[in-house]
Amino acid sequence: MKLSRLFLLCCLSQIAILVTSCSSDSSAGGIEDEIINSDENFVAVQVNRQSFVPDAVTVNSQEDFVNIIGTETATNRSVFLTFKLIGEGTLNLGDSANNPEGNIAGFLINDEDKGYLTNGIEGNWGEIKITKLDGINRKISGTFHFTAYDQEYRPIVLENGEFLDVSY
């Protein structure tokens, strides 16, 4: 029961972030509108050993938190990373004592209203490594990997993920 409510809350928060990003002025405080994947704002990952390269990347930032959502529009599937930006280094994902910032990641199959999240089961289920942080130009690069779970506790594995020169 607890997982279902948490899962619903996380999915709804992602929708709220998307709605906010689409209606906000990007010059008014760090929230960016949709950005097409290119040499800038590049995101890619292997999902269960299948290549996933989103063609649209949405970036939201507010205070110390960054939310990167990469969507493959043809399949309407998305990968997202939401994390507290504390500088270069490794950020843990999952519901554990090693993740006091509440960093979360997931994979969404939007047409089926299905989502896989890293905070569904106790433990450390992945990490984000910030490899380059340019505070002046507000660009960030890094790598990531994680295992996320759906409501029935079925896993999905995302590995060899990277984001390059994403504007935040």
Residue 96, classed as helix, strand or coil, is coil
Query: pLDDT of 70-86, one tens digit each?
Result: 999 999 999 999 999 98
Comparison of pLDDT for 40 and 129, the residue scoring more: 129
Distance CA 106, CA 82 (A): 9
Whether residue 39 is predicted with pLDDT greater than 90 in this model: the reply is no
84 phi, psi to nearest 5 deg = -85, 125
Cβ neighbours for 22, distance < 8 A, ≥ 6 positions apart: 33, 34
Residue 2, classed as helix, strand or coil, is helix
What are the distances in angstroms from CA 3 to CA 8, 16, 17, 18, 125?
A: 8, 20, 21, 23, 16
Query: pLDDT of 120-136, one tens digit each?
Result: 777 768 999 999 999 89
Q: Name the average pLDDT for the chain.
A: 80
Q: Copy the structure tokens of residue 50.
A: 């299948």
Whether residue 28 is predicted with pLDDT greater than 90 in this model: the reply is no
Comparison of pLDDT for 40 and 149, the residue scoring more: 149
What are the distances in angstroms from CA 37 to CA 12, 59, 70, 164?
A: 24, 11, 8, 10
